Structures are given as C-alpha cells and as structure tokens.
Structure 1
Amino acid sequence: MSSDEKATNKRTIFIFITAFMLPVILAKIALDNNWFNQAATNKGELIQPALDMGTLQVKSVDPKWKLLYVLPEKCTESCKNALYSIAQVHSALGKERNRAETLVLAFAGSDTEQLALANEQAEYRVVNTNEETLKQVFKDTDIQGIFIADTLNNIILRYPVYDNKEDAILHSRDMLFDIRKVLKLSRIG
C-alpha cells in the first residue's frame, strides 16, 4: 500500500466515524442545554413533583380521574367560569365520563351561596375540608386554578382560571385535550 492509499483510508475512516459521532455529540449538547421542547404535549401546567391529595380523604368506590376546583371565599366571575368549565369538560367526555369526576373542594370560608348551588347540582361532588389540610396538600402551589388528579390522588396538572367567559370556554379545550389523553393512556379509572 502506498502512502496516498493509507492517507485516503485514514481520511475515509475519519469521515465515517465523524458522520456517526457528530449527531450524537450535538444531541447530547442540545439535551444538556435545553435547546428544544422535550416532547411535552400537555396543555396544562405540569406540577412536579405531583401533589398528594390523600389527606383530603376523597373516597371513591372505583378509582377515577378528577377535575377539581377549590371554592374560594368569594366566588367571582373567574370562580363561576371555572365551575362551568369543569362541568362542561366532564360532559364533553361522553362515554368516558364515568371514568372521571368533578370535585369541588370547600372549606369553612368558602362562598356559601356558590357552595349551596354546587351541592344541588349532580355533576359536582363537594368535598368538605379545612384550610390547614388544603395548605398541606397544595404546599407552595397557587390554589387559584383548576386541577387534574390521577386515580391515585396525585394532582398532576394545573390550569388558570379566567374572568372572561369566552376565554374560560376557549381554554377549557386544553383541559379536555389533556383529560382525554390521560383517559386514553390509562387503563385505570
């Protein structure tokens, strides 16, 4: 073998190795620096780590996914829109609606008028608790929002509430998208 052939062979091997190693190195750098969206398809805010709502003593005969809302002391338009949204999302689940339930968490200071209305309506399940338990469950998370909890009582997603009814309806589609996705992927509930 001549020196030209050896140089060509070395160059070919170098190009071959570079062609396979360069994408791996670039992918590693991209992952380390968070240069792209890491395949997140959920529309709500992912809560990490998930919040354990086991202390709320939410008992069900069958494990169900939960759409939950904490009823505030004064139920403003955003509160009414949130209650409307979770009821509409639950209805929109169609044949899958028996795998999910809507929970309204109420404490001693919750708006009594809205609490009475929620108790009268069959689409809501009202769970009474106290402020200390709510603080224990939600820790540093803002409770002003709509949440999705899994069948093991872990709160995993949060959605903002809106004062404008059109915005609330528009963004309830995000909630519907996520709950349909988890119901499709989950064999439980």
Structure 2
Amino acid sequence: MAGIAAVISQINQQKEIAEEENHRYKQLLSIQDALIDKQRAALAEIAKTSQELQAVEEKRNQLKNQLSSQKSKLLIAASESSDLQTLIEQTVGADNSSPMTTSPVALKCVEDIQKAVFSLTEAALKEDNLSIPAENMSDVILTVSEIIQNAISSGAAKETTEDTVRRQSFVISSLVPPPPESE
C-alpha cells in the first residue's frame, strides 16, 4: 500500500506541476494576446499616420504647383510691366527736341510709374501665393495712363495719334480679364 500511496502522491505532484505550467502558459498566452492587440492598434495608427502624411504630401505638391503657376503669372506680369515701362519711355522720350523744362516733368512721370509698379510687385511678394489681384493691376494701368495723359495735357510731353491709339489699345487690352485657366 505504501507503494501505491507513493505513486498517487507522485501523480498528484506531477498534476500540480502540470496545472501550474498550464496556468503559466495561459498567462503567457493572455500576455501574448494583449501584445498582439497592441501591435494591431499600433499598426492601425501607423497606417492612419501614413495616410495623413500622404495627404499632406499631396497637398504640398498641389501648393508647390500653385506656387509655380503663380510665380509664372508674376513673371508674366513683370514682363508686361517691363513692356509698359518701355512703351512709356518711348512715348515720353519720343520727342528728344522738347525743351529742358519738360525733363523734370518726364522724370516725375517715370518716378510715379515706377512707384506704382513697385508697390504692385511688393504687394504680390507679400502674398503667400505671389498673386496680383486683377483690380490692383487694373488700378496701376489706369494710374500710368492718367500720368501719361496728364503729362500730355500739360504740354510737358507730346504724343502722336499713332502713339495715342497704341497706348489706349494697350490700356483696353490690359483691362480685359484673361480667360480662366483650365486645369
């Protein structure tokens, strides 16, 4: 009997050891499941962050393209401004035989025109998208036209009929808005 009791005692000890191991395995599985859940949550958060970063990158590219487009428009406006200044210089400087008394008036006209164009350029550079509102551009064109007309009306400058037609045509074409861009 003592042998059977020893075997039963040994079986009970092995059973307790097996139950303890089983309990530890269950704890490890529970911990492992919790870690898997945390990993899944972290992966979902990473996927969400990746999508947000991709959206930000797409928005950045859109803004970069818009900025490039606005820069091109600003360069075109600057070129048109240069053309306008050339036209003004040709108009004001067309009559080299004018007396020296008109020189200060001509210089004042050129200075006023340069100030108007400079303020327009400065306003565009302060904008995030480097754009010039159409009404600002129209105001500058009208201001320049008035300056030239005042110089002509006062007798400080002369303008041929052809020059008048060219100037007025330029003003009119400048004030007509360009057709909308298709994207």
Q: Taking structure 2 as the reference length, what is the TM-score of the superposition?
A: 0.31
More strand by share: 1
Compare relative contact order (CA 8 Å, sep 6+) and give the higher one, 1 or 2. 1
More helix by share: 2
Q: Taking structure 1 as the reference length, what is the TM-score of the superposition?
A: 0.30
Q: Which has the larger radius of gyration?
A: 2
